Structure 1
Amino acid sequence: MSTENKRQQGGLAETVRVVMHALIIALVIRTFLFQSFNIPSASMESTLLVGDYLFLSKYSYGYTHYSLPFSPPLFSGRIFGSEPKPGDVVVFRLPSDDSIDFIKRVIGLPGDRIQMIDGLLYINGTAVKRERADDFVDRDEGPRPVRVKRWRETLPNGVSYFTLDRIERSEYDNTQVYVVPPGHFFAMGDNRDNSADSRVPPARGGVGYVPFENLIRQAKMIFFSIGDEAPAWQVWRWPASLRWNRLFMIIR
């Protein structure tokens, strides 16, 4: 074999090694550290908008078999488990169909009593602090912007965020008392009148209580955001459609 052929084979082998190392590193990062996620619906407005792309932490709550690629049932429970805090924005597997990822905000922990009365959130019998905020201007509902009533809600642990009130006296503005079972969490969307969350039983297309095992990621940061229903790959539309003020925004 000539020296030139040996050099070419050596170069090819080195390229293969570099590619394999890169794939292994990417797999480790995706499995154990971070993953991207894009927002498909309006249930978390105004915190998260359709067209937002997020970085998610996979280590915040430890690992379950859902943390692995393709979710093979190799083990049950959690490894290095850590409970979410009220107010965390989390991605979880839908209890009624674990092939589907949902993103909501954790509102109730095991044992908590959750209820909505006249649109106001109660936790363990006490109304959560709520203050009127500037209207949210929804530019995706039609040809004209729509102004939506917005509130700043502050949980007992001090976590504060915005919620939307689109419909006066909507179906889930008044609810039963939900008692969160052991090993489960209560999650709600910030767009309260447009969110099939833990207030809605699975039989009616909602989430119900979320098992701890189904929590897989915590939303950390918006790294990219594009409106006008523009696909992210259409770079020629970025100057007009990119939401520049949302890039690298920390999620609260």
Structure 2
Amino acid sequence: MNDTIEDPVDRRSVPARVGVAALNLILPGLGLIRIGDWRGALFFVAPVALGALITFGFGHLPITGFGTAVSALVLVTVLLAAMYIAPILLTWRQSRHRIPSRWWSRWYALMPMTVVVLGLLQSAAPLMHHFYKPFYAPSDSMAPTIGSDDKFVVDMRWRGPPKRGDVIVFQAADSVRVSRIAAISGDRIAMRAGLLIVNGGAVAQHTEGRVMVDDIDGRHPATILRERLPSERSSHRILDTDTSLFDDTREVTVPPGHIFVLGDNRDRSADSRMPVEQQGVGMVPVTAIIGEAMYIHWSRDHAKIGNRLDR
């Protein structure tokens, strides 16, 4: 007669524990679910929570300098690491003993669960981009405000109305572009010797200084001007490099449902002064506006990080 009582709890081998803990690398919390800890499912929302923190945090609490940018990057890295390390450690600690599996912790339940959750996570980023979305500038057409390779956040919730001075991202015929609204529907606009004329009045400008700028032909001196459009919330800076074909343009009236845009780098911008046939954008339909630029979140010029573009 055998009086041995069999313990239903078995010990897992080290390789088995490593394998279960590694499931969390596929999906945070998956290893915990495998060992029967339903609370591990709470980690499924960690990537979404982190993405929301980055998206909405950057949208409402913009970076205000290089030091803040580095701190934010470190914080995001720490949170990302914790999102994976925490469930791995918890799984390792709780996986020493094997307990009877529940139906939702078996392999046949984990596989479809993983597919569904990963599918939802993939759709989370595009959903967040309906609120805020990062862009980068491929050229210096908006210098000195936005330089080549500067990265900036755009408010995708923009619904108008368009206002003079707003820095917007819009869909052009061949690409997505960023420019400043210089005139709105019904405005009359022209250029006279490089000076902007809106509704018959010259836009106020004053010189701030001289800088050297890079161009395809090398480095050239340029004048920094401070300009303020009619009813613009605050002034902005523009670059005057030299004379160009578009320093003088005939007066045109912006048709209904359209805007007239200009680059802040006036002599190096293919904007509404140029027709589409000449690589410009012509009059831009309001419906082509994607969103309003909010602030620069990364730039090689560290002093520009955190600069607001919507004030």
Please classify the TM superposition score into its range, dividing by the shorter chain length. 0.7 to 0.9
Match of 2:257 among 183, 187, 205: 183
Contact 1:196-1:207 within 8 A present in 2 as well: yes
In 1, distance between residues paired with 2:167 and 2:145?
Answer: 10
- How many Å apart are 1:177 and its aligned residue? 0.2
* Root mean square deviation, CA, Å: 2.3
Normalised by the size of structure 2, how large is the TM-score? 0.62
Structure 1 residues 124 and 137: alpha-carbon distance in aligned structure 2, compared to 1, 3 A threshold? same
CA contact (8 A) 1:113 1:179 kept: yes
1:221 aligned onto 2:295 = yes
Q: Pick 1 or 2: higher relative contact order, CA cutoff 8 A, min separation 6.
A: 1
Q: In the alignment, which residue of structure 2 is the partner of 1:246? A: 304
Q: Contact 2:132/2:155 (CA < 8 Å) preserved in 1?
A: yes
The structure that is helix-richer by fraction is: 2
What residue number does 1:57 align with? 155
How far did residue 130 of structure 1 move? 0.3
Report SS of the residue matched to 1:198: coil
Counterpart Cα distance in 2 of 1:126 and 1:161? 18
Which residue type is aligned with residue 88 of structure 1? D
Structure 1 CA distance for aligned equivalents of residues 127 and 121 of structure 2: 10
Please state if 1:149 is matched with 2:247: no
Match of 1:42 among 95, 120, 140: 140
- State the 1:143 CA deviation: 11
Work out whether residues 129 and 155 of structure 1, in 8 Å CA contact, stay in contact via their aligned partners in 2.
Answer: yes
**Which residue number corresponds to residue 235 of structure 1?**
none
Q: Tell me the CA shift for residue 244 of structure 1.
A: 2.4
Q: Percent identity?
A: 33
- Matches of 1:121 and 1:111 in 2, distance apart? 16
Aligned partner (choices 158, 161, 171) of residue 93 of structure 1: 171
Contact 1:189 1:197 in 2 (8 A): yes
Equivalences for residues 34-183 of structure 1 within 5 A = 34-61=132-159, 82-94=160-172, 97=173, 99-138=174-213, 140-141=214-215, 146-158=220-232, 159-168=234-243, 170-183=244-257
* Partner Cα separation in structure 2 for residue 178 and residue 201 of structure 1: 13
Task: Report if aligned partners of 1:46, 1:136 keep a CA contact under 8 Å in 2.
Answer: no
More deviation in 35-44 or 199-208?
199-208
Give the paired residue count.
209
Q: Tell whether the 8 Å contact from 1:112 to 1:124 is kept in structure 2 after alignment.
A: yes
Q: 1: distance between equivalents of 2:264 and 2:289? A: 18
Cα gap change, 1:131 to 1:23, in 2 (>3 Å): same
Asked if structure 1 preserves the Cα contact closer than 8 Å seen for 2:135 and 2:154, the reply is yes
Q: TM-score when scaled to structure 1?
A: 0.75
Deviations 1:61-120 (A, max 9, x none): 2xxxxxxxxxxxxxxxxxxxx2211101111111xx2x5111110010101000111111
Task: Give unmatched runs, 5+ long, in structure 1.
Answer: 62-81, 227-242
Q: Secondary structure at the match of 1:220?
A: strand
Q: Is the 8 A contact 2:222 2:242 kept in 1?
A: no
Counterpart-to-counterpart distance in 2, 1:143 and 1:41: 15
Greater Cα radius of gyration, structure 1 or 2? 2
User: More strand per residue: 1 or 2?
Assistant: 1
Verify the 8 A CA contact 1:117 1:174 in the aligned structure 2: yes
